[in-house]
Amino acid sequence: MSKATIVSNSSGSDTGIILRTENITKVFPGTVALDQVNYNIYHGKINVLVGENGAGKSTLMKILAGNEQCTKGRVILEGEEIHIRSPQDAMRYGIGIIYQELDLCPNMSIAENIFLAREVVHHGIIDKRTQQQHTSELIQRLEHKIDPSTLVSDLRIGAQQIVTIAKALAQDTRILVMDEPTSALSTTEVKVLFRVIYELKSHGITIVYISHKLDEVLQIGDCISVLRDGRLVAKEDVKNIDLHWIIEKMIGRKLETLFTRKKHKIGKVLLRAENITLPRVSGGYAVNHVSFELGKGEILGIYGLKGAGRSELLECLVGANPLATGKIWLGDQDIGDKTTLKRIQAGLVLVPEDRQRDGLVLTLSVTHNMILASLEKYLNRFRLYLVKNKEKKAVNTLIKELSIRVADPKNLVVSLSGGNQQKVVVAKGLLTNPKVLMLDEPTRGIDVGAKHEVFEIMENLAAQGYGILFVSSELKEILAMSDRILVMSKGTITSNFTAEEATEAKLINASVAGNGLENKGEQ
């Protein structure tokens, strides 16, 4: 990798491709994440990559960063095939990546993080001063003023993002991949980040920018590539396209068939919550005096940005947070001060957002996961021990009902694909005979087909008289599925729309209400 080859290639070739992939295929248990992707990254440009959740964007980037190995295919950097077997390899080739979940050690200082595993040593002893000096220079280059000895845990998310960028730059990165860099940032922080990105571009650094926020993409991108279901379906210069083009390419023809919501009657109130409040340890409220009602057979969507308090609200409702206060009625029963177990028995069940962290026990089989919340149902007549046949019957019924694709329920749950894992969590909830089912981001990280099935399941359940509360960050999902939509921002409910009156614009407006305008929750 000498300087000479770089120069000759970038000037000599008119296409200006710095890196391309040839027929990259990646197979995960149960899903083909990438299917023969030929992806081009143009030198010195801001290359935007978009696609729905689970379209394969992150997987593609992980392959380039050396965190995953592709099943088939080649990666070509400046005309030469390279093999990226580890993050260290990627670094050597000048590929740096900034993940959605920032990979910093919060217990260490900025300088220590930036020089992690590449410490500047003098006679075997870390040269703290040089490290800090380099760090200061890097941070200044990114138009920030932060003391390099500050602990990362003391920084705001936006500043942490800058640190990760500095970390990548410190490694002489030529291609910088940013995976959803703005998902946790405030509007002003996004502006700062964009300035930094332009600055990097002017220094000849190639940027790959992955985002869900399409308006951002149009604003910052030079060229765009669209992934759908693991395939690269389109590439174009950003100046030639508009928002409709992106959406059309992302969703494909499945747009009409995906969400069809039948109208149905909404019965009497099933779940009533009053003044649900969850104080934040750092002051203010994560959930700020939230009240709402949910009717029988109703699908109530909760929309909001990350950190708006949606997941926290659901956790309060299910009794997972001891600091939560407020009144909750399920039917006529007051369950506000009951334990999680009692609430589940009363008929309130949560399908958590992060299924691997909160929903599943990965060391157990599909069967054992499914029946975990309803074990007492499978006891023998004298309630002494579990009866295998009862378990099997219940599990098989739900496998059929939710069409979970599993060879044998005795297999470990990790061997299933994301969508099927999600259905296992839903099945676990349904086996408790709930009245109200709460789903937190039920379609996160699952493919389009599985999404469709999850929606079908929700719709069927609502038709059977369950009350369904579901949280989603995806506008079109929430618009298509909900009878009514609550929008949360900064821990409070800012709006309440019926399905008819809700539009994307209204939801977005409501979701940013309170950001900088009013600060009721932050006292």
Of the candidate residues 43, 167, 428, 484, the single one contacting another protein (CB under 8 A): 428
CB of 335 to another protein, least distance (A): 13
Our CB check for another protein shows the closer of 320 and 480 to be 320
Asked if 320 interacts with another protein (CB under 8 A), we say yes
Give the range of 22-30, 159-167, 257-265, 268-276 binding another protein by CB under 8 A.
22-30
- Which is closer to another protein, CB of 253 or CB of 357? 357
**Of the two residues 121 and 386, which places its CB atom closer to another protein in the complex?**
386
Q: How many residues does the chain have?
A: 523
**Total residues at interface with another protein (CB under 8 A):** 39
Q: Which amino acid is at 227?
A: L
The contact mask relative to another protein for 67-96 (x = CB under 8 A, - = no) is ----x-------------------------
Per-residue x/- track, 343-362, another protein (CB under 8 A): xxx----x-x----xxxxxx
Give, in degrees to the nearest 5, the angle at Cα 255 between 250 and 260: 145
How many Cα atoms are found within 13 Å in the side-chain-facing hemisphere of 146? Answer: 25
Does 339 interact with another protein (rule: CB under 8 A)? yes
Q: Kindly tell me which of 183 and 345 has the beta carbon lying closer to another protein.
A: 345
Residue 30 neighbours by CB under 8 Å, 6+ apart: 405, 415, 416, 417, 418, 420
Instruction: For 322-351, give the DSSP string.
Output: TT-EEEEEETTEE-TT--HHHHHHHTEEEE
Radius of gyration of the chain (CA): 25
Of 426, 500, 502, give the one whose Cα is nearest residue 461: 426
In this structure, which amino acid lies at residue 419? G
Residue 256 amino acid letter: E
Structure tokens at 441: 């981001």
200 vs 360, beta carbon nearer another protein: 360
Token pair, residue 439, equals 């789903």
Nearer to another protein, 145 or 357 (CB): 357
Closest distance between another protein and the C-beta of residue 70, in Å?
Answer: 13
Residue 151 interacts with another protein (CB under 8 A)?
no
- What DSSP element (H or E) covers 226? strand 223-228
State which of residues 5, 29, 88, 105 lies at the interface with another protein (CB under 8 A): 29
Q: What would the x/- binding string for another protein be over residues 380 to 419, using CB under 8 A?
A: -----xx--------------------x---xx-xx----
Dmax over CA atoms of the chain, in Å, equals 82
39, amino acid identity: Y
- Token pair 């295998």 is found at 388
Nearer CB in complex with another protein: 30/445? 30
Return the number of the residue (224 or 314) whose C-beta is nearest another protein: 314
Q: In the complex, what is the shortest distance from the CB of residue 415 to another protein, in angstroms, rounded to a whole number? A: 5
Smallest distance, another protein to C-beta of residue 437, A: 13
Among 318, 446, 457, 468, binds another protein (CB under 8 A): 318
449 binds another protein (CB under 8 A): no
Q: How far apart are CA 232 and CA 211, in angstroms?
A: 16
CB of 332 to another protein, least distance (A): 22
Q: Is 503 in the site for another protein (CB under 8 A)?
A: no
**Main-chain dihedrals φ then ψ at residue 24, nearest 5 degrees:** -70, 125
d(CA 108, CA 149): 9
Q: Is 321 helix (H, G, I), strand (E, B) or coil?
A: coil
Per CB under 8 A, the list member of 7, 105, 323, 375 interacting with another protein is: 375
Minimum CB distance to another protein, residue 378 (Å)? 8
- Amino acid (1-letter code) at residue 365: S
Say which residues have a Cβ less than 8 Å from residue 274's Cβ, sequence separation at least 6: 291, 326, 327, 328
Nearer Cβ to another protein, position 68 or 459? 68
Burial of 260 (0-12, 13-18, 19+ CB in 10 A): exposed
Give the interface with another protein as residue ranges (CB under 8 A).
Answer: 27-30, 71, 318, 320, 339-341, 343-345, 350, 352, 357-364, 368, 371-373, 375-376, 379, 385-386, 407, 411-412, 414-415, 428, 432
